[in-house]
Structure 1
Amino acid sequence: MKVTVVGSGISGKSLALLSKKLGYEVFVTEREEIDPDTRDLYRKKGILWEEKGHTNKMLDCDSVVLSSGISPKSLPVEMAKNAGVPIQGELDFVFPYLIGKIIGVTGTNGKSTTSALIAHLLSELGYKTALAGNFGFPLADFAKQDLDFIAAEISSFQLHWANRFSCHIAVVTNICPDHLDWHGSFNAYVESKKRIIDLLSSDGYCVYQNKDRELLGTNGCRGAVLRWAPDCSKGKCEEQDEIILHDSEAYLRTGSRDIKLFSYSILPLYGRHNVENAAMAMAAVYYLGCDAERTSHLLSDFKNLPHRCEKVGEKRGITFIDDSKGTNVASSITAITSIPGTKVIILGGKGKGEQYDELAKAVKAHARGAVLLGAEKGAISEALERIGFRNYLLVSSMEEAVYCAFNMACPGDIVLLSPACTSWDMYKNYHERGEDFKRIVKTIVEADSVKNG
């Protein structure tokens, strides 16, 4: 059997290696130049490739397999459709070779942290657990491995192509507009996200937020719905279990029983949104048969993922927080509103086709000032002007942004990098952007005196 893999990024390379391991003839087609190390690996494994564009060579196969992020409007997809060559997404191709129960985590924001929390809890309980997703470890890396559980962060791009992939637990952290440039509309984005529930195994459970119930169409689905509540007064849950977030504790209400999941004081994470992430992770683990009381203390040992509301330094009473993973408006609004304290916020980058009016309202309500950079700084500044917020600066580099933010801040304030945009106009990815922010903060923290922006 001949397989063509579209894309030679992290997931594409993993798919190509798995295909070869399965005994297929493999051809990789890549729009950009393939790096020398990957070319050497392909030569060693007997994998053929083309780069800097797609030709009809890619059609000499029995199946085209799409790596993560390949758009339905892309040239290789159009070529395969026109030639009548079957197309498979990453999830469907890998699924038959995965051993162990799959906990699939999707959503607009929080899916990386929630996946990592689930994997941490299960690993600490002694189970053989893999963590797959936006961590540098694609699902294909874990094919044919003898595992108890796989906690998998799953994107809307991957779910768009899914038809036979199935999870035992489906977690949808939240739904807000995102990737509208890829999907074309919010409705199309939601339809992709919903597939994780539509494809749930017959004995599976779903965990999601009450505010997203109508969007997801979860009627009849076993599992738990999350809501914030001022109290945890007793009351039988008639339809689905409920995750109830009280002022200081999270509970799972199942039938007439309230099971304490954890106290917020043990969480080593910033923000109200991370309470939601932890509660959903605990509910998922509960549905896998784990005792909540035995599990909850393990939350205190969790190490936060880089670039996700991560404290990276302090100087003169001013705290620096790196939320470079805040690549959409909803994520940055969550960071701005859920982290206590007055902020100076660094915003901007390459946009995703979103509007910034709601972001501007959050800035006005919670920030002393804003520093704007990147391709979207003009659009964000216009949104701030429309609501009468004028304490902002336009800058041309991250270094200038951090120094300006530091000089705008007062003791007790937070300098928060949460750009509400992708990094692709200035950096390769959000990780590189976050590391640059950290480097500059380290210079400020270690300096005897700090220059003016």
Structure 2
Amino acid sequence: MDAQEVTTGEWSGRRVCVAGLGVSGRAAARVLAERGARVTVVDGGDDERRRTDAAELAGHGVDVRLGDGDTLPDGADLVVTSPGWRPDAPLFAAARAAGIEVFGEVELAWRLRGPGAAPWLALTGTNGKTTAVRMLAAILTAAGHDTLAVGNVGTPIVEAVLEKHDVLAVELSSYQLHWSSTVTPHAAAVLNIAPDHLDWHGSLDEYAAAKARIFAPGTIAVVNADDPGSAALGGPDARAFTLGVPAPGQVGVVEDLLVDRAFVPDPVTAAEELGRTSDVRPFAPHNVANALAAAALARAFGVPSEAVGAGLRAFVPDPHRIAHVATVDGVDYVDDSKATNPHAAVSSLAACASAVWIAGGLLKGADVDDLVASVAGRLRGAVLLGAERDRIAAALARHAPDVPVVDVPDTDTGAMDRVVTAAAGLARPGDTVLLAPAGASFDMFPNYGARGDAFAAAVRRLAGSR
């Protein structure tokens, strides 16, 4: 069955295998079952949470098979995968051998859209996606649109497309884009491209190719003129955003103003003010870039210029993104636990004149030499924790040999207190102690939020002891 038949045909009676019992997998299974499909969910895990989720889905007529994520159910004629499943998984090899199509929850959502469905404004990138998509939703709301931030954030997109909205702000990861083929946003942006998830994609070229899928034929493309990886993905008609003065076809910055020369009647001779850099919170150069990308997508949808600044002022930043925790003895303590790769960490460190850097975790195949070399002059010291801290230590020895480094090998619940105490010992008044780990958190914490919470709690205990 080809894509068009899947799009327009009935789901009733189809035998669909859903791979993964996570949030997107459960949502896909429910929606398909409600449309009469015979759904089997497979998942390699088998624990209390999964058994609870399986029992809930059973009430919708969904069969869940725990402890075996490799076997293709008999009679399956379609596989819908959760985004994190690797392309080389045995389940997908079996599907390919049987001539069965495999696609993801995002692709399913696109194919479930009915006549008059809300258009998508989509964005992807290595860093900044969640912040930018929430900024976009705030701008669209300020313009009076009924909207929702969905995709890799918030409401599962297979549920959102079945609701009535004017427009959807859609965050898409490289995983989700890899498993998509017909998704066609009204407008889309690539924020940046830097090495990440190379252990999943296999190479930077494959990672970038997955990101490039967001620019479907007919989609208004928006790229980052300051990021070579993003800029390389745009065609001759692409619009751009830049932290510099915008040329025709770009959205950028003039002194302290956000300015549009891309979505105005005559980009050569005209420009419109969209807001001020002071409207962007938290203020940092990479966050201004996020705001410009959001503004460009909103303007591509016809949002008036005054709504951009209003939306940015109304935007409430998510936790663990360059969040100021406390000032102790003249030192600022900042939680950027969301900086889970080197590209994000370098952006965060670039906003600090002098920093004690807390780093470490799972590097996911990424190299840290360029990161360390680029920020060496800003480092007062470094405190390292987590599974791959030795790789960061080696890069510091090569590129910042005079920077004092404290290694914290502990992984117990008190480890973050020892990290913060060590950082406080290195810091001087006017410095920033910055948690920007450059790695994922799963070696020590359930997620980056738990890591940031542990850091903030340790800082508050430090403050209480002074």
- TM-score w.r.t. length of structure 2: 0.89
2:235 is the alignment partner of 1:219: yes
Deviation, 1:103, is: 0.8
Please name the residue that 1:442 is paired with: 460
CA distance in 1, matches of 2:321, 2:395: 25
The two structures, once aligned, show a CA RMSD in angstroms of 1.9
Deviation, 1:352, is: 1.0
2:253 is the alignment partner of 1:245: yes
Letter of the aligned partner of 2:331 in structure 1? I
Task: Assess if the C-alpha contact under 8 Å between 1:270 and 1:309 holds in 2.
Answer: no
Letter of the aligned partner of 1:246 in structure 2? V
1:423 partner SS: coil
Please name the residue that 1:343 is paired with: 355
Letter of the aligned partner of 2:96 in structure 1? K
Deviation, 1:33, is: 2.0
Q: Which runs of 5+ in 2 are unaligned?
A: 1-13
Please name the residue that 2:141 is paired with: 123
2:121 is the alignment partner of 1:103: yes
2:323 is the alignment partner of 1:273: no
Deviation, 1:57, is: 5.2
Please name the residue that 2:23 is paired with: 10
Which has the higher mean CA deviation after the structures are superposed, 418-427 or 89-98? 89-98
Give CA deviations for 1:134-155 in whole Å, capped at 9, x if unaligned.
3342212213111111111101
Deviation, 1:59, is: 4.3
Letter of the aligned partner of 1:368 in structure 2? R
Please name the residue that 2:5 is paired with: none
2:214 partner SS: helix
Deviation, 1:354, is: 1.4
- 106 and 66 in structure 1: CA distance in 2 versus 1, 3 angstrom threshold: same
Correspondent of 2:371 among 359, 365, 372: 359
- TM-score w.r.t. length of structure 1: 0.91
Give CA deviations for 1:48-88 in whole Å, capped at 9, x if unaligned.
11112225353431101011111111122122222332212
Please name the residue that 1:33 is paired with: 46
Give CA deviations for 1:326-372 in whole Å, capped at 9, x if unaligned.
111111011101x2331111100012111111121234121211111
- 160 and 314 in structure 1: CA distance in 2 versus 1, 3 angstrom threshold: same
Deviation, 1:89, is: 1.9
Letter of the aligned partner of 1:128 in structure 2? D
Aligned residue runs from structure 1 range 425-436, under 5 A: 425-436=443-454
Aligned residue runs from structure 1 range 393-404, under 5 A: 393-395=406-408, 396=410, 397-404=415-422
- 302 and 56 in structure 1: CA distance in 2 versus 1, 3 angstrom threshold: closer
Please name the residue that 2:152 is paired with: 134
Please name the residue that 2:88 is paired with: 73
Which has the higher mean CA deviation after the structures are superposed, 143-152 or 403-412? 403-412
Deviation, 1:109, is: 0.7
1:308 partner SS: coil
Amino-acid identity (%): 31
Letter of the aligned partner of 1:189 in structure 2? Y
- 329 and 346 in structure 1: CA distance in 2 versus 1, 3 angstrom threshold: same
Give CA deviations for 1:202-260 in whole Å, capped at 9, x if unaligned.
2x3221112337864422335x212333x56xx7x3xxx11222342221114221111
Please name the residue that 1:382 is paired with: 394
Correspondent of 1:323 among 330, 336, 339: 336
2:75 is the alignment partner of 1:60: yes
- 352 and 59 in structure 1: CA distance in 2 versus 1, 3 angstrom threshold: farther
Correspondent of 2:303 among 263, 272, 290: 290
Task: Assess if the C-alpha contact under 8 Å between 2:337 and 2:437 holds in 1.
Answer: yes
1:104 partner SS: strand
2:108 partner SS: helix
CA distance in 2, matches of 1:381, 1:349: 12
CA distance in 1, matches of 2:149, 2:167: 9
2:317 is the alignment partner of 1:299: no
Deviation, 1:160, is: 1.0
Task: Assess if the C-alpha contact under 8 Å between 1:4 and 1:59 holds in 2.
Answer: no
Letter of the aligned partner of 2:137 in structure 1? A
Task: Assess if the C-alpha contact under 8 Å between 2:34 and 2:60 holds in 1.
Answer: no
Correspondent of 2:97 among 69, 77, 82: 82
CA distance in 2, matches of 1:264, 1:217: 27
Task: Assess if the C-alpha contact under 8 Å between 1:194 and 1:216 holds in 2.
Answer: no
2:165 partner SS: coil
Task: Assess if the C-alpha contact under 8 Å between 1:171 and 1:208 holds in 2.
Answer: yes
Deviation, 1:115, is: 0.3
Letter of the aligned partner of 2:251 in structure 1? I
Q: Which runs of 5+ in 1 are unaligned?
A: none
CA distance in 1, matches of 2:367, 2:307: 44
Give CA deviations for 1:263-300 in whole Å, capped at 9, x if unaligned.
11222213100011111111211111111124313312
Letter of the aligned partner of 2:228 in structure 1? D
Please name the residue that 1:205 is paired with: 220
Letter of the aligned partner of 2:203 in structure 1? S
Deviation, 1:394, is: 0.5
1:58 partner SS: coil
CA distance in 2, matches of 1:371, 1:381: 9
Task: Assess if the C-alpha contact under 8 Å between 2:125 and 2:191 holds in 1.
Answer: yes
CA distance in 2, matches of 1:70, 1:61: 18
Letter of the aligned partner of 1:245 in structure 2? V
Which has the higher mean CA deviation after the structures are superposed, 51-60 or 290-299? 51-60
CA distance in 2, matches of 1:62, 1:328: 38
Give CA deviations for 1:289-335 in whole Å, capped at 9, x if unaligned.
11112431331221111111122222222222111111111110111
1:228 partner SS: coil
Correspondent of 1:309 among 304, 308, 322: 322
Correspondent of 1:419 among 437, 440, 454: 437
Which has the higher mean CA deviation after the structures are superposed, 30-39 or 184-193? 30-39
CA distance in 1, matches of 2:155, 2:307: 29
Letter of the aligned partner of 2:451 in structure 1? R
Runs of 4+ more than 4 Å apart: none
Give CA deviations for 1:171-210 in whole Å, capped at 9, x if unaligned.
111111111111111111111111101x15x2x3221112
